[in-house]
């Protein structure tokens, strides 16, 4: 671990849980998040066997180690455990906590459908710093291939400034001044089953086809004061919607949360915000044409949002680029 790289954590925000709200399963400090896609969704680049071994075996082992090392401790966030490990130079806790965080972030950085950045500000930043998206992919591949030993290759933002950086072993950027946008795992367990002795081939396939630019868009907006960056308590963020069935499922999930008799807690609220963004993105550029029944579901969701605003008039409202005016709603929801 290199403590000098870990200088300051992000400030508390509405989307972060308080220590008392930190996720727990029984007496465990943290949980192993579910994958945000099916086991076979990343094939042929990442096989089902490799993904299950990586998630259940490796990430699961880091989670179990953190829970063993913190047994009986007061609940807190994984980010605060990392800060504590840094202050106290508790290397067993630090190494396992950082690796748990890195893997939780990594699962969100992949998506089954190939994509490109949609946020115009991120596209401009990429062009300014790398010349093009192809230039960014080339820089990331070269940095990862040239990294000696295990580690991670990251795309990070400091405001509008972008950089490609690598970290060694279990080092993390979870509590730094930089906001991670994407990360690719360079440990051999991430790719050796599918790309034996071929890290360069793995990196080329990963950055060309698996990188989740919808997630990177949201992280970049957070780096520039529009939203809040991902935290481990969130688990898996919603994936981009690529079908009418996925759109319907997202609308129903949001409606169920808004119909509850109390405002959503921090993590559920964050998921609702992300789902609204994905719904609005689908509305603007539908991968499958919207039918009349889809438009009626969107109008009904808008009525749910208005009712939510009436029930909780004192709730902080922050402008969002997603909901209004994309779907006609007048409730500025969270961002």
Read off the pLDDT of residues 82-111 as tens digits, 9 standing for 90 and up.
999 999 999 999 999 999 999 999 999 999
Does the structure show a pLDDT above 70 at 206? yes
Cβ(173)–Cβ(167) under 8 Å? yes
Does the structure show a pLDDT above 50 at 135? yes
Confidence band for 181, pLDDT divided at 50, 70 and 90: very high
Mean pLDDT of 248-257: 88
CA distance 1 to 119: 34
Confidence band for 281, pLDDT divided at 50, 70 and 90: confident
Cβ(76)–Cβ(19) under 8 Å? yes
Mean pLDDT of 237-265: 81
Percent of the chain with pLDDT strictly greater than 70? 82
Q: Which residue, among 263, 277, 265, has the nearest Cα to 314 in the 3D structure?
A: 263
CA distance 273 to 295: 20
* Lowest mean pLDDT segment, chosen from 89-98, 145-154, 276-285: 276-285
Does the structure show a pLDDT above 80 at 118? yes
Q: What is the pLDDT of residue 311?
A: 57
CA distance 104 to 146: 24
Does the structure show a pLDDT above 90 at 130? yes
Does the structure show a pLDDT above 80 at 269? no
Q: What is the pLDDT of residue 264?
A: 63
Mean pLDDT of 140-159: 97
CA angle 257, 329, 288 (to 5 degrees): 80
Which tokens in the block code for residue 266? 């921090």
Q: What is the pLDDT of residue 332?
A: 38
Mean pLDDT of 34-60: 95
CA distance 95 to 170: 6
Percent of the chain with pLDDT strictly greater than 90? 60
Confidence band for 261, pLDDT divided at 50, 70 and 90: low
Tell me how crowded residue 129 is: count the other CB atoms within 10 A of its CB: 16
Cβ(282)–Cβ(254) under 8 Å? no
Cβ(156)–Cβ(163) under 8 Å? yes
pTM above 0.75, yes or no: yes
Mean pLDDT, the chain, whole residue set: 83
Torsion of Cα atoms, 39 then 42 then 45 then 48, to 10°: 10
């Amino acid at each position: 671990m290199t403590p000098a790289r870990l200088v300051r954590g992000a400030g508390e925000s509405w989307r972060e849980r308080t220590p008392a709200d930190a996720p727990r399963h029984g007496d465990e400090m943290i949980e192993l998040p579910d994958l945000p896609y099916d086991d076979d969704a990343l094939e042929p680049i990442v096989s089902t066997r490799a993904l299950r071994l990586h998630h259940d075996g490796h990430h699961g082992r880091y989670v179990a180690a953190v829970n063993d090392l913190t047994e009986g401790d007061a609940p807190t966030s994984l980010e605060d455990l990392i800060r504590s490990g840094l202050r106290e130079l508790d290397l067993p806790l630090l190494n396992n906590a950082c690796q748990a965080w890195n893997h939780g972030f990594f699962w969100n950085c992949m998506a089954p459908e190939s994509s490109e950045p949609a946020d115009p500000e991120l596209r401009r930043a990429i062009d300014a710093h790398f010349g093009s998206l192809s230039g960014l992919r080339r820089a990331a591949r070269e940095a990862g291939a040239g990294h000696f030993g295990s580690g991670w290759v990251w795309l990070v933002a400091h405001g509008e400034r972008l950089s490609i950086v690598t970290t060694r072993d279990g080092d993390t950027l979870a509590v730094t001044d930089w906001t991670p946008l994407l990360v690719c795992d360079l440990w051999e367990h991430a790719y050796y089953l599918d790309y034996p002795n071929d890290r360069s081939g793995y990196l080329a396939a990963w950055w060309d086809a698996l990188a989740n630019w919808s997630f990177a868009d949201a992280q970049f907006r957070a780096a520039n004061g529009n939203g809040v960056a991902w935290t481990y308590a969130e688990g898996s963020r919603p994936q981009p919607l690529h079908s009418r069935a996925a759109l319907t499922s997202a609308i129903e999930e949001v409606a169920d949360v808004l119909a509850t008799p109390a405002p959503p807690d921090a993590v559920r609220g964050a998921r609702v915000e992300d789902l609204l963004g994905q719904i609005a993105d689908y509305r603007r550029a539908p991968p499958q044409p919207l039918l009349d029944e889809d438009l009626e579901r969107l109008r009904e969701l808008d009525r749910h949002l208005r009712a939510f605003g009436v029930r909780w008039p004192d709730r902080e409202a922050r402008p969002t680029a997603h909901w209004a005016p994309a779907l006609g709603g007048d409730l500025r929801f969270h961002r």
